């Protein structure tokens, strides 16, 4: 099964899953250098429904919000995420936020990391449920990059 889909193909897949009664969980992010914080977060997100979809910031989108990033190209980041058993689908978005993607897919559950307040999560006006999951303190991609630079 192909797990990295464009928006059109993903919409068809999501509509089919919803028609079969599946609960769709959506999250988004850069996932530039995958680390234990990401894995724990994705595991918790997956528990909130049947299917986990990741909206992945494109290289263009990452560059706008994180100077000198991404470290890994979008196709590499997408493939790494898609290789995780707990991830059902990955799609890219170029915009600063995934609002239009969330509006298209209408997920049942919207999830972000604990550094986000629930009311500030983009798309919370669309999803039936919105969660801010616990953030793993001391673990971040930026922190890892800084540590590597010091070596």
What's the pTM value of the predicted model, to 2 decimals?
0.93
pLDDT (0 to 100) of residue 141: 84
pLDDT at 128 over 90: yes
pLDDT (0 to 100) of residue 115: 74
DSSP letter for each residue of 4-59 = B--HHHHHHHHHHHHHTTPPEEEEEE---S--HHHHHHHHHHHTTSSEEEEEEEPH
pLDDT (0 to 100) of residue 4: 98
> pLDDT (tens digit, 9 = 90+) per residue, 59-79?
999 999 888 899 999 999 999
Query: Domains plus CATH for the chain?
Result: 7-150 (3.40.50.620)
């Amino acid at each position: 099964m192909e797990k990295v889909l464009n928006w059109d193909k993903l919409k068809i897949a999501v509509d089919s899953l919803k028609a079969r009664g599946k609960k769709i969980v959506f999250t988004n992010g850069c996932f530039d250098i995958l680390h234990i914080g990401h894995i724990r977060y994705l595991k918790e997100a997956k528990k909130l429904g049947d299917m986990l979809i990741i909206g992945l910031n494109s290289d263009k989108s990452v560059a706008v919000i994180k100077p000198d990033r991404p470290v890994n190209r979008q196709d590499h980041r997408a493939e790494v995420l898609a290789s995780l058993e707990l991830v059902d689908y990955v799609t890219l978005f170029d915009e600063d936020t995934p609002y239009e993607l969330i509006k298209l897919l209408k997920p049942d559950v919207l999830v972000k990391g604990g550094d986000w307040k629930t009311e500030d999560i983009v798309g919370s006006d669309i999803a039936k449920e919105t969660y801010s999951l616990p953030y793993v303190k001391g673990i971040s991609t930026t922190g890892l990059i800084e540590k590597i630079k010091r070596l």
